[in-house]
Structure 1
Amino acid sequence: MASSSSGVRSWRTAFLTLRDETLTSPPPHTLFALLRDLVLSLPSDSLVAAASDLPPHEVTSDVMLLAELASAVSECQGAADTLVRVCHLIHDVSCRILREIDSASCTVMLSFLQKTVECSLGISSTQSIILESTARMKAVTEILDVLRFTVKACGRNNSLSQSTQLIRLLLSVIACLHFELNNLFHSNGTNTPAANSGIGDSKWNGLWDMQTIAFSMIGDALSRTGSSMEANLWQSVVEVLRKLMDFLASKNLIVENNAMSRFYTTLFNCLHLVLSEPKGSLSEHVAGFVATLQMFFMYGLPSRSSLPPATTGSKDKSFSSPDMKSGQLDCRQSEHGRYRPPHLRKREGTKINLVDAQSSSVSEPSKYGFASSDSDHSDSDGLVKDGDRYRTSKVRLAAIICIQDLCHADPKWLTSLWTLLLPENDVLQQRKYQATLMTCLIFDPVIKIRIESATTIAAMLDKHSSILLQVAEYRDSSKCGSFTTLSSSLGQKLMQLHTGLLCLMQRETHSGLLASLFKALMLLISATPYSRMPGELLPTVIASLRARIMENLALKNENIGLLLSDLSCLGTALSKSPPSLHVLKLLEEGASGHTQRESSVPLLLLQLSERGRHPAIRFEAFQALRAISHNYPNIVNRFWEQISATVYELLQIQILDDSSSEVVGSCTGEIGKTLGSTMERCIMAGIKVLDECLRAASGFKGAVDLLECRLQDIQQISDSSRRKRISSAPSYELDGLGASSNYTADCQSGCEQWNGMIEKHLPKCLPHASPMVRAASVTCFAGMTSAVFFSLTEDKQEFVISSAVTAAVKDAAPSVRSAACRSIGVIACFSQIVSRSRVLNEIIRAAEFNTHDPLASVRITASWALANICDSLRHKATELRLENSAGEITDSKCISLLVESALQLTKDGDKIKSNAVRALGNLARFIRFTHHSITNDRPSSVSYSALSGDSQWLERMVQAFVSCVTTGNVKVQWNVCHALSNLFMNDTLKLHDASWAPAVYSILLLLLRDSTNFKIRIHAAVALAVPATRLDYGSSFPDVVQGLEHILESLGSDHSSMPSSFRYKDNLEKQLTSTTLHVLGFVSSADDQALKDFLTKKAPFLEEWFKKLCLALKEADDQPSASETASSENHGDGSTLYVPNKAALSRAMKSLLDVYKHSNHQTVAQRFEKLANGLT
């Protein structure tokens, strides 16, 4: 008792004296002496013992004073030992006293510990040599203990600055530990200390234990800071993690024991927290992280699993086997023993423990059993399994989650590392030293790890990777040679992914794993370019999914969630474009006769869409049927009656009716709403299937494109080689099929189906309570063709038009109005519609009404319909050359409405602006502008009774075109070029008198020269070729000639365009050649001297250019079939043979010859005369 009181008295005397002496803020060297003489001179044990008898708040206050003063003397000579001794005293006191400190005290303690690490333990500091290795490790241990006590005493209410300070301190501690680790490693030569039994084991394990503690505390701090962490601190943590993980990989430190397993888990969890909230680029670290993480995919597992190989053969040619074609993969499932409760299971190790003394000498290697049920691994016990004595499964799981984090951060980072993560061969064979994510997915005994593996594979296949995989191409490994291209490597990986996922899909029963498998498989199907893979691959996928669905249906209690995922994957596979001949053959199995009806995919989907099924299942079945209808229209068209009856039955269900207990039953609240919403989606999907069937039967190929004969003559574009794919039109042709085998629409069949649709379904669909159902119903009209429409009776035609117009004007739902506008836009393309004045006025006003809608989605379709209406009017006024009798075209108010609406829409967004420009261009083609009279000599193709326009419309149109070409996107710009072509062809204009003409010509030349988009340049060249006379170019003629020549001369060296535009380069060269020949045909000796001098200067280039054209024309004359096959035969470089127009070529050369003769350039004139004579 006396010694206790003496110790308390000594404590209080020392600290009271210390407080008194420091009131005057003495200099650091004085403080250093005070600490040494007043506190550190006393026996440490007596001070620690006295602390137990003092009030906790007094001890806490004194300890904080000690830490604050010690921090102040850190710069003094010899301060390293003092700081370590103070830290030792604080550590021993903290072990005895449970302190509660405030935020300010926490900051003081963190600052003190940071100074201690920097001054006494810093690697770069010369003072670090004062402490020998053992003392340094003891100091680090005490610092970590003090940190733990401090953080615990402060609770979880640390501020952001304190958490940041704590992380920086811990990073310094880890750097010190890493330094010690390196020293220890090198002192043992090439062997790790763990490899030498009994030598350095305690120190080796101690180092890893301390790092485990440090990273655990960093992880806690990172969890608190979250997204608020500073970018530079985040970068520091990343660099420390990368350095340590590189060390693990370079030294192959994959050790299986308790200490190392805890360390790996803590390290990877810390990495997960950093990767999940990236604050900067990880591109330079990804390769290092992935290489190290991949080494832990099989951590803790035996070299040979008790699971036998999943299949006896893993060659890719197995895809052509009968079992593969039927969807039954040869992947035998392992036989599991009878379930044993955990307390009866034999406790076995996974590997001889090299470090643990108790197990290093006598330990039998054991084998994992294959776990595929939750009974083996409880969600609450953290993946504990009796065979997993070191909890190594946690390490594997953490490593895979880190890979997943990298995928979510940016998938592009991993694309170059797929070789490490995904297999190229033998996916069904287990591998110990070259493990991939598929190895974990197929062979890991822990179900959670397998689920995370599937999720990570799905993350790798999402977003950016789907673009990269479009270059994938499968080649047999025997044909690849010693060098494997990127496309071939990706093709091999896709093949192995298909093999593994399809095998697991057939074998597994765990619902959670199956859900992850289906998600990964769906993304794999979406990303795979099946046209570049083996033809049997996609049918194999479809057959496997069909087999799985049938197995599910055979169960007494079918799993609705898995069935939905299966159907969704099946729908994705059936919707892959381009359609496959092999898939068509698979779908035709059992579809035409009564044999094998159960195995037919269409019949199976029809069965799942029938009454009695869950609405969600019926919805997915309809989605898959719609995919078949779109890609393989001749298949589903055979089942029109069944589909029609099923959808009609759906329409009988009144969701809000109390009698519809079959669907909604007694459900109330959110459950009832969900069922009702699902049923609405189901009805909508059914109507969309009918829509696809109607489009196929009608031969719908998109809205009628009213091409203009005069523009077709000007354009030199090989349309046969650039077929435009209309996404809303069914796929009537399949690669590999002859023309006679492709689907041919029957107008009579389409008419019959449309009659049934109008009589039975649409009267119930159009007034439906659900907007999505009404929108799908109105959209059906957008798939109608002109032939089918005019084959209907007049009352049904009136029904179609009135339904679309009424929905566009009166429906309250924006989606319905948007769908109605699209239908109006399609109907407006029917040539005879513009002859019906009343109908035309109705659809004009309906479209114009929706151009004022607040939603852009409605204005987009309304402006599209408006442009189509103007296109039809232009077609009627110019091409058909019909008289405006009995108000056939329309009245002036409607034309004025179209002009004003289009002008207003040019100020809207780009998608709307593009349609508005197209509308104005069509109107500008046929409107007679009143202040211009037809006095020129050009023949007019416009009826004199055509509508006259406002004198200000022309100027406003031109202003709109100029504004749009400078502010609009690519599509707007090439629509402006096309609109200017239409404007130039207006026979009522005198282009040479127009004040705006020079500016317009300059804009077209700039687009032709500077645009990075070849389509824009092509349309600009077409517009420049429209003026029919030299007079139309006016004062801009010399600029046009010189501009075209410069562009033609520099075309071969132009590399500024976007890669996506390169496929149009051949067409651009053709169009530019045609336009240049057209313009050169107008040059004469009467032109300005500057232009003639320019042509003389460029004579060598023009001569060579004309020689090439003459040669091409001569070859075409020698081989008459060449011109016929030019548009379809491609040369090796992708270009097509271009044969110039002989008349245009001759006219251009004669014009130049005239210029050179009158300019006294006889030598040049003789060469051109020789070329001209060669054409005759």
Structure 2
Amino acid sequence: MNRKKDESMMFDNLSAKFSQLLYGHSKGESSHISRILEDFNKLDYHYPIVTNPTKAVLIIHQCCTIIPPDDFHLVHKACQLIISLLTHQHIEIEGQTLSLLTQWCLQALKQADVTTFIKILCVLKALVTTKFLLSTVVSIMGAMVTAANSNESEIALLATQCLETCTVLPGDSTISERELSLLEIAATAFLKHLLTFNLKIDCIQQNKILISSLRGLQNVITHHDEFLKREFNLLLGVVKSYMVYNIKGVNFQAPQKVMPSVLNIPGGLVSKSKEKRGGKIAKQRKPRTSSKKDGKVSDDDDNVESSGHNSVPRTSDSDFSDTEQGRIAKLGLSQDRVRQAALNLLLQIFKLTDKATIFCHWSNFISDGYSANNLNVCILKDPSPKGRMAALQVLLALLTCNKLYLAQAESSKKHTAFTPFSVILGAMVTELHKCLSLALNENSVTVLHQVLKCLAALVQASPYHKLAPGISKKIIRNVKIYVAHRDFTIQIAALIVFECLLGSEPIVPETRTSLLRQTNKVSENVDEPINKTIDDDIEFVDFSSDDEDETCLTVQEVPWLLERCLANLGVLFSREICYVVSPPVKVQSLQVISAMTRNYFDCLILPYLSHIAKALEVCLMDSYADLRLHAGRTIDFIGQAMNKHLENAKTVTPELCLAFWQLLINNSLTALLQSEQHSVLRAVGCDCFASIGPIIFEQLARDKQILIITLLFPCSRDEDHNVRAAAVRALAISVDYPSLRDDPGFIVDVAETIHRTLQDSSVIVRIKASWSLGNLTDALVLNLGDLTKEELPASLLLRLLKIANKISNDNDKIKVNAARALGNLLQMLSQENLQQDIFKDTVYESLESLVKNCTTGTNMKVRWNSCYAIGNVLKKSNFSINNYKGKEVLFQSLINLVLDFPNFKVRLNAALALSCVNDKETYGSYFLIIWESLVDALENTQNIEDFSEYNHQDHLVDQICLTLGHLTTLLSKADLSSINSSVQLHYELLVSQMHKVIERLLPEKSTVLLQAAAHLKTIASEDLTKEQQSVLNCLFKIFVNEYLLSLKPLSI
């Protein structure tokens, strides 16, 4: 402390002396300045000795004023002082002093010797690092570029590092054109170093120049999109060369432009998302990747453990002296950092480039078994764990962003002159499996964790059903040992790989077999290759399988993965010993069990429900809230899968499922719903009760049924909006349970709850409540024809109708359900209701809402739900559309949609709605307009602007033809002349499409076409004019063909 105080006083004294100096040309004055600067530089600046920053700024200003730029001796000492003040004392300079210092340095550079030149560069580097100003960068950029081309390696290094610092622009500001031009100047200097590098001169400083150049380019592309696009192929070429720089056994290739490969994206590649069919499934994991776009790369090494990963000392310890040994170690470290900088640049390039462009360069970086200098080499041969880590991060980014394209991969043993795109891709995917399997032989825990993350992403992206047999089985075998690794992060990563395998679709028999193996089975029986000839071609690491050879009898043989997860959760079998499991491992074990419900419920979950229930019971009673949360979610997933399988009574026994729910309801599950401290637990508790299902619910004791309902109603008034949303959804689902649907009091209570929550301030609650209203009204519509069921009170029905009208103007997700509910509610109105003016007005408002929603907005589901609801009203409602003043608007809206709306599902539902009128009188003057419009719409179905609509084309054609068939059943003799021109103009089209539809549809779905043909025969018996007879003959040929005649005779 005293020393710090003394040095601070010395600094103040020297500052006072220095501020009084005036430079003269005498030798004595120069010597005096030199002595004071020497005294300044003797101070220890690692301590904060400057108490007054202003004095320090004045000293810098004085140095630039009294020391001539051509006095090398004084300039050198002054630079040393300025560097200490800027870097260690963190002195900030600005304004006139900053400008003066910059100009002084630039003047001194022109005449300085090598040693002084280096010191001046250090000042400029410190200046830009501590205070980034565009004006400063502009001033020094030219000098830095010139210095970067110096033959002196130390000068070139410092200048390049200074240029790198200049490329670190403030991230929160807009980049100006001047800054972009400076970035290009710097990038040109960086590329010059990288493209003209002489491999024979392999020294530490040269490597540092390469590192700085690669990092500088990373900064440039982060801020300069146009430069990245323009030089994309060259940048990839640079990275491809330097990412394998000085790896043993890999020849260095001079950087050159890398062109796109044959892996061009097929034009017809379309993402096919699975339609949701209600209920929940265990979601597939999304790999977490860094979204950070920081161009600056730290000089410090990453915190990666040192590893003995396949590394062999280049020479023995005795061959070198300590000094030589240290120099070689530093050289090796600098080479490692070159590779890491190249891989970091590659990762940044991939983050800033679109997926399709990246995929076209896959073969340049991923091995297909023949190519060299790729990421596979970096992962397996880089001696530095940091280098392997960087390569794996790039691979993870590639796998994550190109998962859709990898679905096209396939293996083939056929030898043809042309290798298909999919087969090349399949070879790459297979090589990646080999590479990552070999990489599992890793000593660094951090790198091993990254290998497993990449494996998880690869498993998610791989279509195993199209690849060579044996791949997934060996991945399971190689990863299996890591679920019991000493490091819990590795256990979690290994379990994530299995979670992804469980979600892989379609299921591959070898995966199922490997996952169903019991722990106590002998390994020889299960390690036999499915296809020996193909299996032997795939190289994988064969790890020890001692645990598979153990034989130990258990109460019930449990598949090894489930057994491990249950053991992690506290359910131990006779072969297990008690061990401590970290909470994150328990959480991941629950997620694996949840994933099992997706595709393996019948074999991995159902037979072991009693064990799983015990594990869930333990988790629900745990003090760790996150564990209780995931246990609740697992119960929800199991319940959803259970309901699906209970529909097939031959494969599932309800008794086993009933025991599962009874155990949980009796104790822990009810406690979850009553958790006062954690609202998220109450919400997941509601979800669990919602997934019980009608079959199990009906078999529960009456007191348990009452308990569940009694717990759910108060939750609908919970202070947390997520709990209210989950509760109202659960109540709406329970309306489908037979015993509750027959309870009028319960139905009314649920309806009142839904009505209340539809007015909630939270949009999340309103979305769930709107879905609940749709589900409730679906159930009530089912009860319409049953005279034993009590009707909903008229006042409540009216309030529900009004609230449904109101929410039809809310959020799109709410509108979707509002349309569905309105279509149902309007069907429930009795003649008695419709005689009341208040009901009539509400009905008119409802129809206006439906018409508005089917003709406006960007949400297609809102539109087609509205069309479908209109159809239900026209077909099943007691309300007569003839009394509706907006009938013409309604018909015209549906006509406009069916004619040329871009979305085919909307057009289909509009066509369906037009077929829902049962009498010709209701169509009125629109009957013939609708006929002609449908014929035009049929012609328009051949015009597809969006390729994704192709899947719905046949369905749309079917519906238009069925609607035309319905209109034909209402034709009269007088209409034949009116439709003559339309029929004659589109005759060939009508014959062709109608006959295709007749042959395509099942007989029970084409009944209306039979009826149309029969009705035409009835008209034929009347007196017809020549024109009418001609039209009728055409219609016969349209609606009748041999296939239709074979189904049913026309004389009916």
Task: Tell whether the 8 Å contact from 1:930 to 1:948 is kept in structure 2 after alignment.
Answer: no
Contact 2:160 2:212 in 1 (8 A): yes
Residue 636 of structure 1: how far off its partner (Å) = 1.9
1:801 is aligned to 2:709: yes
Q: How far apart, CA to CA, are the structure 2 residues paired with 1:387 and 1:11?
A: 44
Q: Determine the structure 1 residue equivalent to 2:162.
A: 217
- Structural mapping, 1:147-546, within 5 Å: 148=121, 151=124, 158=131, 160-166=133-139, 169-170=140-141, 174=145, 205-206=151-152, 211-223=156-168, 225-228=170-173, 230-233=175-178, 235-236=180-181, 239-240=184-185, 243=188, 254=199, 256-258=201-203, 259-277=205-223, 282-303=228-249, 346=320, 386=329, 388=331, 391-410=334-353, 412=355, 413-425=357-369, 434-462=372-400, 464-470=401-407, 472-476=408-412, 478-479=413-414, 481-505=416-440, 507-546=441-480
Superposed CA offset, 1:366-400 (max 9, x none): xxxxxxxxxx9xxxx9xx86273582222111111
Q: Helix, strand or coil for the counterpart of 1:745? A: coil
2:591 equivalent in structure 1: 623
Corresponding position: 1:107 with 2:91? no
Q: Decide whether the 8 Å contact of 2:34 with 2:77 is kept in 1.
A: no
3-state DSSP class of the match of 2:489? Answer: helix
1:1098 and 2:1032 matched:
no
* Counterpart amino acid of residue 1146 in structure 1: A
Describe the superposition over 1:630-683 as per-residue Cα deviations: whole angstroms up to 9, x where unpaired: 321122222222222233334445x3xxxxxxxxxxxxxxxxxxxxxxx22223
Supply the AA of the counterpart residue of 1:212: L
Deviation at 1:985, TM superposition (A): 1.9
Instruction: Please report the TM-score for the alignment, with normalisation by the length of structure 1.
Output: 0.67
Separation of aligned partners in 2, 1:47 and 1:149:
29
Which amino acid is the alignment partner of residue 503 of structure 2?
Answer: S
Select the residue among 607, 615, 621 that pairs with 2:567.
607
Q: Structure 1 stretch 526-535 or stretch 260-269: which is displaced more?
A: 526-535
Question: Is the CA contact 1:828–1:865 (under 8 Å) kept in the aligned structure 2?
Answer: no
Query: Comparing 1076-1085 with 593-602, which one deviates more in the overlay?
Result: 593-602
> CA RMSD, aligned part only?
4.6
1:261-308 deviation digits (Å, cap 9, x = unpaired): 222111012122234456667333332211111101221233369xxx
- Contact 1:579–1:631 (CA under 8 A) maintained in structure 2: yes
Matches within 5 A, 1:721-1120: 744-769=651-676, 770-809=678-717, 811-831=718-738, 833-877=740-784, 881-883=785-787, 888-928=790-830, 950-965=839-854, 966-967=856-857, 969-1052=859-942, 1054-1057=943-946, 1059-1084=947-972, 1086=974, 1095-1108=979-992, 1111-1112=995-996
1:479 is paired with a residue whose SS is: coil
Alpha-carbon distance, 1:138 to partner: 8.1
The CA deviation at 1:1033 is 1.8
State the Cα deviation string for residues 981-1031 of structure 1 (Å, max 9, x = none).
Answer: 111124423323421122122222232234332222211111111111222
Given the alignment of the two structures, is residue 642 of structure 1 paired with residue 608 of structure 2, yes or no? Answer: no
Q: Do 2:195 and 2:238's aligned partners in 1 also have CA atoms closer than 8 Å?
A: no
Paired position in structure 2 for 1:672: none
Cα distance, 1:576 vs structure 2: 2.9
Change in 2 beyond 3 A, CA 1:541/1:820: farther
Report the AA paired with residue 260 of structure 1: Q
Which one of 555, 562, 569 corresponds to residue 490 of structure 2?
A: 562
Residues 184 and 227 of structure 2 are in contact (CA less than 8 Å); yes or no, is this contact kept in structure 1? no
- Judged with a 3 Å threshold, the aligned counterparts in structure 2 of structure 1 residues 1109 and 335 are, in CA distance, closer, same or farther, namely closer
Alpha-carbon distance between aligned partners in 1 of 2:796 and 2:424, rounded to the nearest angstrom: 61
- Hey, what does 2:546 align to over in structure 1? none
How many angstroms does 1:153 deviate by? 8.2
Aligned to 1:17: none
Aligned residue in 1 for 2:499: 571
How far apart, in 2, do the equivalents of 1:591 and 1:958 lie?
A: 63
Aligned-partner Cα distance in 1 for 2:820–2:762: 21
How many pairs align? Answer: 892
Give the residue type in structure 2 aligned to 1:405. Answer: Q
1:971 Cα deviation from its structure 2 partner:
1.4
Deviation at 1:922, TM superposition (A): 0.8
| Equivalent pair of 1:1080/1:1151 in contact (CA under 8 Å) | no
CA distance in 2, matches of 1:785, 1:97: 83
Shift of 1:561: 2.3
Distance change in 2, residues 1:304/1:290 (3 Å): closer
The change in CA–CA distance for 1:755 and 1:52 in structure 2 (over 3 A counts) is closer
Conserved in 2, the CA contact under 8 Å of 1:1085 and 1:1154?
no
Q: Distance in 1 between matches of 2:230 and 2:944?
A: 31
Indicate how the Cα distance of structure 1 residues 923 and 447 shifts in structure 2: closer, same or farther if over 3 A, else same.
same
Which residue identity is paired with 2:362?
W
Specify whether residues 1110 and 104 from structure 1 end up closer, same or farther in structure 2 by C-alpha distance, changes over 3 A only. closer
Residues 210 and 338, structure 2, Cα contact 8 Å, conserved in 1: yes
Tell me by how many angstroms 1:1154 deviates: 11
Aligned-partner SS, 2:759: coil
Counterpart CA distance in 2 for 1:601 and 1:780 is 24
Relative to structure 1, is the Cα distance of residues 968 and 217 closer, same or farther in structure 2, using a 3 angstrom cutoff? same
The 3-state SS of whatever aligns with 1:295 is helix
Q: In the TM superposition, what is the alpha-carbon distance from 1:603 to its structure 2 partner?
A: 1.4
CA–CA distance in 2 between the matches of 1:743 and 1:500? Answer: 45
SS of the residue aligned with 1:561?
helix
Shift of 1:768: 3.3
1:50 deviates by 10
CA contact (8 A) 1:549 1:563 kept: yes
The one-letter amino acid paired with 1:508 is: E
SS in 2 for 1:223: coil
Q: Contact 2:827–2:878 at 8 Å: present in 1 too?
A: no
Superposition deviation, residue 978 in structure 1: 1.2
Counterpart of 1:794, as a letter, is: R
User: In structure 1, what is the Cα distance between the partners aligned to 2:463 and 2:697?
Assistant: 38
Q: Which one-letter code corresponds to 2:405 in the other structure?
A: L
Matches of 1:1102 and 1:1152, distance apart in 2: 22
Residue by residue over 1:948-993, the C-alpha shift from the partner in whole angstroms, topping out at 9 and shown as x without a partner, is 9712111221222233331351111111111111111244233234
Q: Distance in 1 between matches of 2:1032 and 2:235?
A: 72
Distance 2:177 2:915 in 1: 60
1:10 deviates by: 14
Say whether the 8 Å CA contact 2:808–2:849 is kept in structure 1: yes
Secondary structure of the 2:498 match is helix
1:756 maps to amino acid: L
Partner Cα separation in structure 1 for residue 226 and residue 646 of structure 2: 48
- Aligned equivalents of 2:23, 2:705: Cα separation in 1: 104
Q: Deviations over 1:1087-1106 (max 9, x none)?
A: 5xxx956x443334432134
Q: How far did 1:685 drift?
A: 2.7
